[in-house]
Amino acid sequence: MMTYLPTDSKMQSAPSVHIMDASLVYGEKILFDQLAIDISPSRWTVLLGPSGVGKTTLLRLIAGLETPAQGVIESGDKRPLEGRISYMAQQDLLLPWLTLRENATLGSRLRGQNTTAQRTVVEELLEKVGLAGAANMLPAACSGGMRQRAALVRTLMENQPLVLMDEPFSSLDAITRLQLQDIAADLLSQRTVLLVTHDPLEALRLGHRIHVMTGRPARIGDAIVPDGSTPRQVSDPRLVMLQAELLTELAGAAQEPLA
């Protein structure tokens, strides 16, 4: 068993997140008006919707990078969310002059936490994601898939119970994407995850609860709750049927104006 995952006290307290009556205005545009969503603890909640509808902005609200005009964003345990969130973006954002290992441990080293235990953890994680032999490589010498694996390790090294993911696998080829979905589902199984994606299949493979965001002001639809444990197999006929239904819902959402 890896020293990193199941026994960590933070993972035993992965919080739910509740957003109630959130409103946000950009210029003269009302992006959110009384927006509400519940994010279940220790589960993957997935959010889809047209570009520009406000999915990334919702992540930023939860992360404290945007301030709502009104409304409440709180954890189910009533503890502050600040300091309990890690964020994985679409781009890997690796520093080009650092090796993959150095990028993965950047946060802990800046906090003065470069302990023997931390060094052991990063080596275990690099091996888990298939980067043990590439840990000393610079990002420029690595494929996009390798860089995103390193970004996933960096996210895990933050060791936070709430993980926000903004299309983290969208730039990858289909096979690498499936592989990283499997790895992420495994390594983030004890955390509360909110994933933004444009890929219905990715949502259905990883999500315990799936929502579609539509319109302006944005609203969030009722949850789709697929059967079975994650990551679900792409060959599962139930997944194929749900994918068709989800695509139909997304096509309808794309017709709604965002002006």
Q: How far apart are CA 56 and CA 166, in angstroms?
A: 7
Interval 225-250 mean pLDDT? 90
Q: Give the pLDDT score at 6.
A: 37
- Mean pLDDT, residues 187-193 taken together: 93
**C-alpha triplet 166, 223, 87: angle, nearest 5°:** 20
For residue 89, is pLDDT > 80?
yes
The predicted structure's pLDDT at residue 249: 86
Sheet strand arrangement including 70-75: 29-39, 17-26, 70-75
Tokens of residue 233, six digits = 């197999």
Q: Are 64 and 75 in contact (CB under 8 A)?
A: no
- Residue 4 pLDDT greater than 60, yes or no: no
Note if the pTM is more than 0.75.
Answer: yes
What pLDDT does residue 252 have?
A: 82
| Band of pLDDT at residue 259, cut at 50, 70 and 90 | low
The phi-psi region of residue 194 (left if phi > 0; otherwise alpha if psi is between -120 and 50; otherwise beta) is beta
Q: Which of 75-79, 96-100, 187-191, 233-237 has the highest mean pLDDT?
A: 96-100
d(CA 256, CA 216): 8
Are the C-beta atoms of 7 and 157 separated by less than 8 Å? no
DSSP 216: T
